[in-house]
């Protein structure tokens, strides 16, 4: 059958007869052949994989080695950048303390989300490229900050440098009481946009108004019109500060005043919609934004909110 030699066997009667293979026996032989063939193929594959590397595996090993080298280089660059950043922070603290006589603020709201939080959703190449770009960007920022500090040190070291007035004129002033700042604001009396030259600081009538820096009283005005009762003080460096709509004035023209000294009281004299202090900062003939000189007494969050409130409030109180 199928060209193979016949197989004989001796039965119980001691008669020699031809043995015919059954279908089950044939199938068993075929199955055994398949199992042996597959097992040998798997054995050969495992031995080959352990001894020899495919092209893909060779490329992966080469890439891993390059990643390992790049990672080491980036760690070194990051350590150097951290040293530079730490040095800049120390210099910033010393400079801030020298100029403003207080500790430098830290803005904890500004936080970057790290790519590491994404876990396995990004590839190693993407992570490496992104990290390299961040390192380069931070190095550029560090160089820019370094140049800025050099410029600041030059200005501060100059004999002609004068620190501008940076104290709040109202004690314990909350940023939520910030009114309209400089710019075009709608007057509550005419409902027409007019130029507003100062900052409206809402307060209770009678609250003390303090001088923001040492200086000399240049002008004392008692009036029921426009800005009402007003005091103008001249400071070193050509700076002038103006305090308007006062209910009471406690200084006279020509008097020398100290920073923090009470010079008047909040009121609503003149054209005032409600009790508040109209505060202006000038240098020579230039009108300045008072909010720009308040960050010494405010946290970064409060200062940012005050900037937004003063700019977004469209109606003044005078």
Which of residues 7 and 26 earns the better pLDDT score? 26
Tell me the whole-structure pTM to 2 decimals: 0.56
| Whether residue 234 has pLDDT greater than 90 | yes
The reported pLDDT for the residue numbered 176 is 84
Which of residues 300 and 111 earns the better pLDDT score? 300
**Burial of residue 59, with CB atoms counted within 10 A of its CB: 0-12 exposed, 13-18 middle, 19 or more buried:** exposed
Q: How confident is the model at residue 301 (pLDDT cuts 50, 70, 90)?
A: confident
Helix (H) or strand (E) holding 243: strand 239-249
**Burial of residue 209, with CB atoms counted within 10 A of its CB: 0-12 exposed, 13-18 middle, 19 or more buried:** buried
> 80-94, 127-141, 149-163, 205-219: lowest mean pLDDT where?
80-94
Structure tokens at 74: 């980036």
Q: ∠280-177-259 over CA atoms, to 5°?
A: 45
The reported pLDDT for the residue numbered 216 is 95
> 119-123, 229-233, 248-252, 275-279: lowest mean pLDDT where?
119-123
**Neighbouring residues of 233: CB distance < 8 A, sequence distance ≥ 6:** 211, 215, 216, 217, 218, 240, 241, 242, 243, 257, 263
> 83-92, 136-145, 231-240, 265-274: lowest mean pLDDT where?
83-92
| Whether residue 57 has pLDDT greater than 80 | no
Nearest partner of 272 among 306, 308, 309, 247, judged by Cα: 247
Structure tokens at 41: 């193929």
Q: pLDDT > 70: what percent of the chain?
A: 78
Question: Number of helices and strands (H, E) in the chain?
Answer: 4, 13
Structure tokens at 153: 């040190």
Mean pLDDT, range 182-204, rounded to an integer: 89
| Whether residue 265 has pLDDT greater than 70 | yes
């Amino acid at each position: 059958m199928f060209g193979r030699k016949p197989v004989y066997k001796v039965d119980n009667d001691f008669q020699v007869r031809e043995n015919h293979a059954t279908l089950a026996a044939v199938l068993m032989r075929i199955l055994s052949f398949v199992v042996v063939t597959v097992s040998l193929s798997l054995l050969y594959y495992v031995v080959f994989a352990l001894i020899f590397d495919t092209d893909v595996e060779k490329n992966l090993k080469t890439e891993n080695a390059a990643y390992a080298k790049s990672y080491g280089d980036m760690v070194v660059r990051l350590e150097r950048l951290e040293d530079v950043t730490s040095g800049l922070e120390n210099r910033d603290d010393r400079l801030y303390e020298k100029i403003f006589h207080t500790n430098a603020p830290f803005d904890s709201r500004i936080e970057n989300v790290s790519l590491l939080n994404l876990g396995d959703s990004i590839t190693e190449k993407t992570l490496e490229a992104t990290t390299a770009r961040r390192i380069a960007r931070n190095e550029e920022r560090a160089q820019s900050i370094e140049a800025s500090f050099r410029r600041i040190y030059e200005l501060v070291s100059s004999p002609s440098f004068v620190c501008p007035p940076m104290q709040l004129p109202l004690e314990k002033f909350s940023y939520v009481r910030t009114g309209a700042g400089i710019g075009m604001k709608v007057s509550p009396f005419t409902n027409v946009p007019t130029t507003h030259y100062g900052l409206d600081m809402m307060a209770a009538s009678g609250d003390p108004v303090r001088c923001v820096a040492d200086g000399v009283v240049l002008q004392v005005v008692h009036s029921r019109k426009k800005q009402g009762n007003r005091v103008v003080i001249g400071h070193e460096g050509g700076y002038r500060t103006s305090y308007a709509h006062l209910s009471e004035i406690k200084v006279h023209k020509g008097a020398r005043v100290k920073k923090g000294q009470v010079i008047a009281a909040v009121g609503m004299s003149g054209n005032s919609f409600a009790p508040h202090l109209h505060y202006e900062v000038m240098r020579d003939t230039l009108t300045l934004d008072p909010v720009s000189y308040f960050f010494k007494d405010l946290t970064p969050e409060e200062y940012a909110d005050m900037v937004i409130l003063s700019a977004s409030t469209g109606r003044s109180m005078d």
